[in-house]
A and B are shown apart, each in its own frame.
Chain A
C-alpha cells in the first residue's frame, strides 16, 4: 500500500536574477491499495514524474509524507525501496549484458543470491512472455523488448508495490496489450499494489480500478472511471478528464 499525503516540491530554475521558483508538486495526495491498479492521470507537466520520483526516494519532498506499507520513505529509504519495484521514465539497460544478466544484477543489488535471482528471472520471463530474450544481449532490443526487460528488472525482488512511470510510452499496440495483461495478472494473482502514471485516457479506462487526476501539481479528483464520469455528468471519460484537469480559460485555448 502506498499512502501519499500533501506532497510538495519546488524547483528553482535559472540562476541569480533570472531564478524562478517552479512549484512542480503542490499538494498531491492519494492512497493506492493492495490488489488494485491506481492510475495517476494528468496532462504533461502536471507533476506526475516528480511525484513518483519522490515516492521512489530519488527526490526529497519539501513537504508532505510518503508511506509505503507504513514505512516512511524519507526516514527509511532503503527499507522502503526494498518493498517497491519502480519502472521509471528512464529505463536504460546495459547493452553488453544479456537480459538475464540485467535482471540478475538488480536482484543482487536487492540482496538476492545469484541462483535465486536467476530463478526469479525465469518466472518473470514467463509472466512477461519474454523467455527467448533472456539469453540475448540487450543491444538491439526493440522498445517492447526493452520495456519487458526493464519491468522484469524492476520486479526481480518480488516487491508488493509496483510503480510505473508512463510505461506505455513508445510501445506499439501489441506490446501495450501485453503489458496490460501482465499488470492485470500481477494484480489478480499476486495482489500487488500497482501505481502507474499516464496521460493517455484509454489506458486508464481499460486498466484502472482507481484514478487520481493530477493537474497543476495538485490532486484535483479521485475515484473510479464511472464515479468520475458521474461526478462531471459526462459519458465520455475524455470530457470528464478535460473538465477536471483544466480550468475554463485553459479549455478555450486551441
Chain B
C-alpha cells in the first residue's frame, strides 16, 4: 500500500523532469534507429560498389586489346580524373586507378611484359578493397593471352595448369550486415541504463541532498515499503525507455536503404517483445544497483561519479565476446548485460532462444535486485541522518 503511494509519487516526479527525460529520449532512444539508418546507407554503398562493374583507367587509349577484354567482361571503363592522386588520398575517389603506359600495345605485341600500375592508398578503405578485384581482372587478361600464345605454338594450355585452385568466399553482404547489426543491442542496453540512472540518483542521493529523506522517514511507513516503491518507479522508468527504444526500431525499418540489410534485419513485434522481455529484468536489477551505490552518497554529483563504475561495467561486459575469441560460452548468460546482449544478438540472427536461456538471466537479475533493495533499505536511516 505505502509502496504503491511512493511508487506513484516517484514516477510522477521522474516524468515531470522533462528536460532530463527529453535528453534521455533523444540521446538513447533515437540513437538506435539513427545508427541503423546510417548502417543501412553504408551497407547500401558497399552493395552498390560490389554490383558496379567499373574500372577507373588512365591511358586506356594506349591499350585497345585490354579495352576489348574489359568490355567483353562487361566492365564499364571510366577515365581517371587528372588529379586522381589527390582524390585517392582525400577519399573522394573510391576506386583504385589503373595506369597504362604509352607503349602498352607494342610491348604486348613483341611479347615483352608491359608495365601496368594499380594506384591506390591503404588509407582509403573503399579503394583498397577493390584492388584485389582489379588484380584478378588483369590476371584474367594475362591468362587469356598466355593461353593464346601457347595455343599458337601448339602447346596444350593444360600443361601449365598443374593445379586447379578455386576460391570460395563465404562472406557476402548479409554476413557483413550481421556484423553491423550486432551493435544494436548495445545501444538499447545503454538507453535503459541512462534512462534509469537519473531517477535512481534522484530518489536516493538527490533525496538526501534536498533534505527530504529525514522527513520522509518520519512517516509511519516501513523502510522496505519506501525502498520498494522508489525502486519500482526507477525500474519502471528504465523499462519505459527500454520499451520506447525497442519499438522505435519498428518504424525505423521502413527507412532502411539497403535491401540486404532490411531483408537481414527482421525486427517485428516478436523480436521487440523478446528484447523487452530481456531488458525489463535488467532494468530492474540496474535500478537497484545504482540506488544502492547512490544511497551512500551525500550529493547527486557524488552519486553520479560513483555510478560511473556501473556505467563502465555495463558498457564493458558485452565486450567480453570481442576479447574472448572462443565465442559464446554458457556462463555468459549468467553475467548481467553480457547475457542480455548475447541473447539479443541471437534474436537478431533469428536463432532460437529457449525458455531456459531466458530464465537464467532473469534469475540473476532478480537476485541482484533483491540484494540491492535490501542494501538500500538497511542504509536508508543512516543516510537520512548524515
Residue pair A91, B2 in contact (C-beta under 8 Å): no
Give CA–CA (A235, B78) in the complex, Å.
110
CB-nearest residue of chain A relative to B1? A111
Residue pair A97, B12 in contact (C-beta under 8 Å): yes
Residue pair A109, B221 in contact (C-beta under 8 Å): yes
Task: List which A78-99 residues lie within 8 A (CB) of chain B.
Answer: 78-79, 81-82, 84, 86-97
Residue pair A92, B220 in contact (C-beta under 8 Å): no
The answer to whether residues A86 and B5 also contact, given A78-B222, A97-B13 and a CB cut-off of 8 A, is no
Residue pair A78, B381 in contact (C-beta under 8 Å): no
- Map CB proximity to A onto B1-37 as digits: 1 under 8 Å, 0 otherwise: 1100110010011001100000000000000000000
| Residues of A close to B308: CB separation below 8 A | none
Residue pair B218, A94 in contact (C-beta under 8 Å): no
- Which of A78, A91, A94 has the largest number of chain B CB atoms within 10 A? A94
Taking the complex as formed, is A108 at the interface, i.e. its CB lies under 8 A from any CB of chain B?
yes
Residue pair B9, A105 in contact (C-beta under 8 Å): yes
The answer to whether residues A81 and B381 also contact, given A96-B16, A97-B9, A105-B9 and a CB cut-off of 8 A, is no
Segment at the interface with B among A51-59, A124-132, A215-223, A241-249: A51-59
The answer to whether residues A92 and B5 also contact, given A58-B218, A82-B220, A97-B12 and a CB cut-off of 8 A, is no
- Map CB proximity to A onto B362-386 as digits: 1 under 8 Å, 0 otherwise: 0000000000000000000100110
Contact of B220 among A79, A88, A96, A150 (CB under 8 A): A79
Task: List which B188-229 residues lie within 8 A (CB) of chain A.
Answer: 207, 210-222
Number of A-B residue pairs, CB cutoff 8 Å, is 78
Give CA–CA (A94, B5) in the complex, Å.
15
| Residues of B close to A81: CB separation below 8 A | 218-220
| Residues of A close to B2: CB separation below 8 A | 109
Give CA–CA (A93, B215) in the complex, Å.
9
The answer to whether residues A96 and B212 also contact, given A58-B217, A105-B9 and a CB cut-off of 8 A, is no
| Residues of B close to A56: CB separation below 8 A | 218
Known: A59-B385, A81-B220, A90-B215. 10 other contacts (CB 8 A): A58-B218, A86-B215, A88-B218, A90-B384, A91-B211, A96-B13, A97-B16, A101-B12, A109-B220, A110-B219
- Map CB proximity to A onto B214-256 as digits: 1 under 8 Å, 0 otherwise: 1111111110000000000000000000000000000000000
Chain B nearest CB from A2 CB (Å) reads 14
Residue pair B210, A108 in contact (C-beta under 8 Å): no
Chain B nearest CB from A186 CB (Å) reads 18
CB-nearest residue of chain A relative to B14? A96
Residue pair B385, A88 in contact (C-beta under 8 Å): no
Residue pair B221, A88 in contact (C-beta under 8 Å): no
Contact of A150 among B6, B215, B222 (CB under 8 A): B215
Contact of B212 among A93, A109, A111, A154 (CB under 8 A): A93
Can you list 23 A-B pairs with a CB-CB distance of less than 8 A? A58-B217, A58-B381, A58-B384, A58-B385, A78-B221, A84-B218, A90-B215, A91-B211, A92-B211, A93-B210, A95-B210, A96-B13, A97-B9, A105-B9, A106-B215, A108-B5, A109-B5, A109-B6, A109-B219, A110-B219, A110-B220, A154-B215, A154-B218
CB-nearest residue of chain B relative to A165? B214
The answer to whether residues A90 and B13 also contact, given A108-B5, A109-B5 and a CB cut-off of 8 A, is no
Residue pair A53, B385 in contact (C-beta under 8 Å): yes
| Residues of B close to A91: CB separation below 8 A | 211, 215
Residue pair B212, A92 in contact (C-beta under 8 Å): yes
Residue pair A106, B212 in contact (C-beta under 8 Å): no
Taking the complex as formed, is A153 at the interface, i.e. its CB lies under 8 A from any CB of chain B?
yes
Task: List which A98-117 residues lie within 8 A (CB) of chain B.
Answer: 101, 105-106, 108-111
The answer to whether residues A94 and B384 also contact, given A81-B220, A109-B5, A109-B219 and a CB cut-off of 8 A, is no
| Residues of A close to B16: CB separation below 8 A | 96-97
Residue pair A90, B221 in contact (C-beta under 8 Å): no
Residue pair B219, A92 in contact (C-beta under 8 Å): no
| Residues of B close to A93: CB separation below 8 A | 210, 212
The answer to whether residues A90 and B218 also contact, given A96-B13, A105-B9 and a CB cut-off of 8 A, is no
Give CA–CA (A77, B65) in the complex, Å.
100
| Residues of A close to B222: CB separation below 8 A | 78
Residue pair B210, A86 in contact (C-beta under 8 Å): no
CB-nearest residue of chain B relative to A93? B212
- Which of B16, B214, B216, B218 has the largest number of chain A CB atoms within 10 A? B218
Contact of A90 among B6, B17, B214, B220 (CB under 8 A): B214
Chain A nearest CB from B213 CB (Å) reads 7
Chain B nearest CB from A108 CB (Å) reads 4
CB-nearest residue of chain B relative to A57? B218
Give CA–CA (A106, B217) in the complex, Å.
10
- Map CB proximity to B onto A146-166 as digits: 1 under 8 Å, 0 otherwise: 000010011000000000000
Chain B nearest CB from A110 CB (Å) reads 6
Residue pair B12, A58 in contact (C-beta under 8 Å): no
